[in-house]
Amino acid sequence: MNRGRPTLDAHNCYPDDGQWADRIDRALKQPFPLSIEQDLAWYRDPINGAGRVVVSHSAETRGSEPTLRDYFFERVRPIILKALDENDKAHWPLIVLHFDFKDNQPALLHAVWDLLGEYEPWLTTAVRTADAQNIAAFEAKPILAVTEDSDAQQQVFFDEVPVGSKLRVFGSAHTNFPRTENAQQREHLAATLSADRLLTKRATDYRRWWNNSWHEVEEGGQTRAGEWTPAKMARLRALVERAHQMGYWIRFYTLDGFDRDSNQGWSSGYNFGSLPAARVRWQAAIDAGVDMIATDQYEDLAALLRQHFELR
């Protein structure tokens, strides 16, 4: 991905309860390539029963949410048509379109598949192979659509696709967490299990990336991170190296550092507490070769990425 260079992942890049509607505009002002996350839900009109795919942070929808078609696809239309006209395939994909489904009801999944079909000429695709271990090469286009690890999504986006047809969206790996009801034990295991125990299966024709919270790097995640240390850097490198060894890209979410005055609807659970604390982790992720670094602070991470690669 991006010739091995880390990419900005614009986290929660959609309006939140009617606020922050400029997030996609902020993201698209940053250099390409970049990743744009769209959380998806299903709205069914109570009068006529018609359903539509909407961009929402919650599975509970009211009908006021923007549609995926209008908020993302039609917003990027001029960018994509220009890219197709220029035909600079060496720099594709320009946009990684990252879906975070708020539920997995069949109506939503099939509607997304059909919508992707309408925009398939814009999408990076690969042939659906008979054996998932046989990974087909990409046919590069300006957008690469990815989703997460749900088996229900694999059923619609891969298993039901006829062999020889095109895959339009690609899933993430399953992380191999031991079963435990103890939250403290789960946090400890996430941060201490070896990378080869967390990721046990190689990439497939459908599953091509590995999605990780920051809890896998620092125990307790962002709010309990403390100082960045050489041991933590070694942990981060081990996770990245394992992902690449097994044939995956790797993403970490969500690396923020903000105070109350600068908060633009961001989650306190992803907050390191200050911009310098987040910047240290961004730089570590860049140095370790993380493929997608998710943050809500698009401009700040983009600036660091530009500086890093200009100085090399």
Tell me the C-alpha distance between 307 and 302, whole Å.
9
The two three-digit tokens of residue 172, written as one number? 């993430």
Count CB neighbours of 5 within 10 A. 14
Check pLDDT > 90 for residue 310: no
Determine contact, residues 211/148, Cβ cutoff 8 Å. yes
Average pLDDT value over all residues in the chain: 96
**Confidence band, pLDDT 50/70/90 cuts, at residue 88:** very high
The two three-digit tokens of residue 76, written as one number? 């990027």
- Average confidence (pLDDT) over 185-206: 94
What is the pLDDT at residue 163?
Answer: 98
3-state secondary structure of 235: helix
Tell me the C-alpha distance between 19 and 14, whole Å.
9
Domains of the chain (ranges, CATH numbers): 2-311 (3.20.20)
At 51, the amino acid letter reads G
- Average confidence (pLDDT) over 169-185: 87
What is the pLDDT at residue 186?
Answer: 85
Check pLDDT > 80 for residue 2: no
Q: For the segment 230-241, what is each residue's pLDDT rounded down to a tens digit?
A: 999 999 999 999
Q: For the segment 105-154, what is each residue's pLDDT rounded down to a tens digit?
A: 999 999 999 999 999 999 999 999 999 999 999 999 999 999 999 999 99
3-state secondary structure of 105: coil
Rg (CA), the chain: 19
Check pLDDT > 90 for residue 178: no
Check pLDDT > 70 for residue 312: no
Q: Is 164 exposed, middle or buried (0-12, 13-18, 19+ CB in 10 A)?
A: exposed
Lowest mean pLDDT among 16-20, 190-194, 209-213, 303-307: 16-20
Tell me the C-alpha distance between 168 and 123, whole Å.
7
Residue 4, CB half-sphere, CA atoms under 13 Å: how many?
4
Per DSSP, the residues of 256-286 read: B---GGG-SS--GGGB-SSHHHHHHHHHHHH
Determine contact, residues 40/58, Cβ cutoff 8 Å. no
The answer to pTM > 0.85 is yes
Determine contact, residues 91/32, Cβ cutoff 8 Å. yes
Count CB neighbours of 269 within 10 A. 12
3-state secondary structure of 39: strand
Tell me the C-alpha distance between 68 and 61, whole Å.
14
- Among candidate residues 269, 273, 237, the one with its CA nearest the CA of residue 257: 273
